[in-house]
């Protein structure tokens, strides 16, 4: 009898009208946890949500209008003029102006800007340089050149983006952002976002599992573990380049020694052991997804050739530092072992060590899915300021080949960025650089 009642109840429940998936709801607070600083200049999650660029990059790598509605170049890309969108206001209600853009861009890069001069001209800004800047519209979409200013110490950074900083300090380590009701791109679905910073990955995953967090980070090397734990993982394409930057002074001033180092690193072991096969081994600066010709750069380890290039000479001990967390330190230890196999003496030191550092293991972000711009951003991050003027695949290949052959920047792995999300998060998309685009996110249980 009980069984019949139970079956009847089940059938009745199935027959009842159930709620269907709806359009995204407005409202609610998204709780995000990260390891780093939400306001850091490159990749800072809060900066991305509060500030907009003059341009933005579409999924196909095309440069799209953002705060600038159009732009023109003259004099063989030496002079660029960007016209600003009208009717846009900062979150403190001041109007977007060319003077504000000029001040923001000047503050963003100081003396190391790609341009040599800039001036406000009516509702536009004009940027000029001694060398051509063919990728300037794409570069201006990068984190470094987002438009904003420090309004006052209580609020913090003010921009035109979908969320506004509140400056609330009630909960230490938590940055609270609220929806910008008058955002020129439309009010975001979420009412607010709370970002808990400097949280270890372990704590982030724990909070996600007990419902205290909605979106947490998944480092590439832990993606497999996240899948094993049945976390809902959203991963980007390959948007980071793990690479060694090589000092051309000191022990490695010899190009053949640098070439020997490039040949001695076992990229396959790095990928398989440290990064759990979640990336792709790399010998080119840009992945095949962007160029289609990455296979032209050999990823093979060749210890015999490395020994040959070293020429039997024992160079002085090299110093190797790694920027980043535990996985980067492990990777540095592994590279040191590889180099010892090739006859180099290598000491792993901390990134802030006072002595001269010959090799630095870094994770560089491909800031764009446009290959020219991605290459230029990598070169700038590696302090190799080479303007990339070539626009065809064949031309780009020549530029990339020339840079790789200097062995001042040794590509090792391409890595994705990934996040794990809770059950109430919907419509999360990652940008071209793998950053979460939270303006389009909504909550299933929003009122």
For other proteins, the binding residues (CB under 8 A) are 15-26, 58-62, 64, 87, 162, 181-189, 288-293, 295-296, 369, 371, 392-394, 397, 427, 429, 439-440
Which residue, 18 or 111, is less far from other proteins as judged by CB?
18
Rounded to a whole number of angstroms, the minimum distance from the CB of residue 405 to other proteins is: 13
Closest CA to 244 of 285, 286, 203: 285
**How far lies 7's CA from each of 1, 12, 105, 314, in Å?**
10, 8, 67, 80
Which residue, 134 or 315, is less far from other proteins as judged by CB?
134
Report the Cα–Cα distance between both ends of the chain, in Å, rounded: 40
Which residue, 292 or 423, is less far from other proteins as judged by CB?
292
Cβ partners under 8 Å of residue 353, min gap 6: 319, 321
Which residue, 292 or 311, is less far from other proteins as judged by CB?
292
Rounded to a whole number of angstroms, the minimum distance from the CB of residue 6 to other proteins is: 21
Alpha-helical regions (H) of 197-314: 201-209, 223-228, 255-264, 267-269, 288-291, 303-310
Cβ partners under 8 Å of residue 141, min gap 6: 53, 54, 55, 56, 57, 63, 66, 367, 368, 373
Rounded to a whole number of angstroms, the minimum distance from the CB of residue 293 to other proteins is: 6
To which residue do tokens 């503050």 refer?
A: 107
- Distance in angstroms (rounded) separating the CA atoms of residues 38 and 41: 9
3 state SS of 19 = coil
User: Residues 91, 147: contact at Cβ < 8 Å?
Assistant: no
Rounded to a whole number of angstroms, the minimum distance from the CB of residue 189 to other proteins is: 6
User: Tokens for 298?
Assistant: 């050999």
Rounded to a whole number of angstroms, the minimum distance from the CB of residue 63 to other proteins is: 11
CA-CA-CA-CA dihedral for 287, 438, 103, 132, to nearest 10: 20
Rounded to a whole number of angstroms, the minimum distance from the CB of residue 426 to other proteins is: 8
Rounded to a whole number of angstroms, the minimum distance from the CB of residue 151 to other proteins is: 20
Which residue, 23 or 230, is less far from other proteins as judged by CB?
23
Which residue, 196 or 236, is less far from other proteins as judged by CB?
236
Which residue, 318 or 443, is less far from other proteins as judged by CB?
443
């Amino acid at each position: 009898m009980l069984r019949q009642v139970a079956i009847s109840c089940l059938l009745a429940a199935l027959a009842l009208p159930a709620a269907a998936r709806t359009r995204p709801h407005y409202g609610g607070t998204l709780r995000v946890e990260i390891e780093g600083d939400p306001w850091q200049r490159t990749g800072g999650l809060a900066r991305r949500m509060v500030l907009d660029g003059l341009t933005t990059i579409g999924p196909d790598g095309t440069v799209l209008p953002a705060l600038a509605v159009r732009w023109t170049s003259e004099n063989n890309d030496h002079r660029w003029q960007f016209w600003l969108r009208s009717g846009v206001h900062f979150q403190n209600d001041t109007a977007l102006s060319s003077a504000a853009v000029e001040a923001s861009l000047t503050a963003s890069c100081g003396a190391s800007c790609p341009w040599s001069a800039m001036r406000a001209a009516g509702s536009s800004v004009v940027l000029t340089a001694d060398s051509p800047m063919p990728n300037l519209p794409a570069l201006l979409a990068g984190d470094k050149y987002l438009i904003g200013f420090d309004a006052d110490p209580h609020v913090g950074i003010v921009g035109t983006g979908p969320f506004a900083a509140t400056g609330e300090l009630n909960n230490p380590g938590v940055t609270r952002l609220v929806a910008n009701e008058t955002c020129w791109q439309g009010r975001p679905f979420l009412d607010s976002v709370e970002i808990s910073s400097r949280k270890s990955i372990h704590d982030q995953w724990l909070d996600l599992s007990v419902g205290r967090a909605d979106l947490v980070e998944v480092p590439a090397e832990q993606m497999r573990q996240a899948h094993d734990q049945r976390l809902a993982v959203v991963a980007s394409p390959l948007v980071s380049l793990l690479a060694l930057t090589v000092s051309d002074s000191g022990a490695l001033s010899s190009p053949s020694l640098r070439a020997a180092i490039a040949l001695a690193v076992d990229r396959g072991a790095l990928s398989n052991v440290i990064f759990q096969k979640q990336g792709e081994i790399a010998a080119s600066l840009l992945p095949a997804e962007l160029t289609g010709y990455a296979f032209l750069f050999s990823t093979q380890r060749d210890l015999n050739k490395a020994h040959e290039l070293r020429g039997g000479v024992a160079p002085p001990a090299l110093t190797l530092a790694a920027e980043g967390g535990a996985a980067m330190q492990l990777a540095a230890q592994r590279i040191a072992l590889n180099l010892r196999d090739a006859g180099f003496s290598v000491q792993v030191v901390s990134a802030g060590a006072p002595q001269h550092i010959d090799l630095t293991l870094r994770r560089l972000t491909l800031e764009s899915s446009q290959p020219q711009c991605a290459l230029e951003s990598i070169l700038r991050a590696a302090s190799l300021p080479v303007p990339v003027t070539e626009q065809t695949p064949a031309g780009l290949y020549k530029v990339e080949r020339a840079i790789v052959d200097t062995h001042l920047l040794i590509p090792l792995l391409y890595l994705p960025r990934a996040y794990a999300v809770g059950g109430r998060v919907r419509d999360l998309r990652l940008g071209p650089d793998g950053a979460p685009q939270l303006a389009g996110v909504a909550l299933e249980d929003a009122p």
